[in-house]
Amino acid sequence: MPQLARRLFALPEELVGAAQSWLEHGERTPRAARLASSVVLLRDSPNGLETWLAYRPGSSPLGVLAFPGGSLDTADDDPMGWLGPSPQHWAEQMGTDDVGLARRHVVGAIRELFEETGILLAGPDMSSTVEATSTIEWMRARVAVAEQEKTLAQVLDKRGLLLRTDLLKSLVNWRTPDFAHRRFDTRYFAATVPMGQEPTLLDGKGIWGRWVNAAQVIEGRNTTALGDEAGQENTVGRTLGKLLVPGSEIMLEKMASANGCIAYLSYKRKAHVYQPALVEEDGQLMLEVEAAKTTPGDPQRER
């Protein structure tokens, strides 16, 4: 496991007020963090590993640009067909004794991925997955789940599908800084795109999303190319450190240095909780993380 090092990241503009208030009034009890799951979608390309990033409106604790994901839902506890590693196994992988919580995170990850991209990790058995999820009918199902008019369990049951939890890989656990007004406790997973599926934006909600080459994004981290392409008021003119939360940026670094999907997914990871801390460095507020440095171009001092 790479040695952890002190990393400094830019403090997002939308968190400056909360950070200053936290310092001025003294540290208080942090607001409760909402449980969330996020999925790093992967595919191989001739130029290296690619992942799906999308724009998130507002001030999401997951970042302005982020991997598919969001808050867990009460319906994530619903009974549904299950293939692959058991909830007990997932609890062990995620370093928790709470088997129900581990199950909820896995279901939430698959649901959020389906809502936001149409990628559905489900099939009738362990040897196959559902295909052609880009149809109008599937889009209606995605919108219904996103609007909580239907549950994922209902969508799967109607079509005779079961969750393919074997298609997920547990990554890391990131928590929003203590001083933030909106906080997430996010479990990140990884998955490759099943045969016959392709990510698409959710009707009425998706604004911008696309496959990005991890190495190229990291190489251009000090440029505004990605933010300019996203073309939103709070992305144009911004470098990578002001678009992504530290956790996403560090995961992109690891993707950039990985030799393809299989290498990235087979990397041995220990259950670990990462959480940026607020520090003042040369009169400037920044986020500090103890994390491995895997590629050149450390975002330290990035403003």
24-62 pLDDT, tens digit each: 887 788 999 999 999 999 999 999 999 999 999 887 889
User: What whole-number distance in Å separates Cα of residue 244 and Cα of residue 57?
Assistant: 13
Q: What would you report as the CA-atom Rg of the chain, rounded to the nearest whole angstrom?
A: 19
| Mean pLDDT (10-residue bins), the chain, 303 residues | 78 87 85 96 96 91 95 97 97 96 98 98 97 96 97 98 97 94 95 96 95 97 96 95 93 95 90 90 90 53 33
Cross-strand partners of 125: 128
The predicted structure's pLDDT at residue 299 = 44
The predicted structure's pLDDT at residue 6 = 86
The predicted structure's pLDDT at residue 301 = 36
Q: What is the pLDDT of residues 218-230, one digit of tens each?
A: 999 999 999 999 9
Contact (CB, 8 A) for 94 and 105: yes
The predicted structure's pLDDT at residue 302 = 34
User: What whole-number distance in Å separates Cα of residue 122 and Cα of residue 107?
Assistant: 11
Contact (CB, 8 A) for 244 and 235: no
- Nearest 5°: the CA angle 66, 166, 62 is 15
Q: 29-270 has which CATH code?
A: 3.90.79.10
153-181 exposure pattern, b = at least 16 Cβ within 10 A, e = fewer? bbbbeeeebbbbbebbbbbbbbbbbbbbe
The predicted structure's pLDDT at residue 293 = 62
Q: Minimal CA–CA distance to 105: which of 54, 165, 62?
A: 165
Contact (CB, 8 A) for 296 and 5: no
Largest CA distance in the chain: 59
> How far is residue 278 from each of residues 23, 77, 85, 172, 176, measured CA to CA in Å?
9, 35, 38, 21, 11
pTM given for the model = 0.93
Q: Minimal CA–CA distance to 41: which of 100, 114, 103, 92?
A: 114
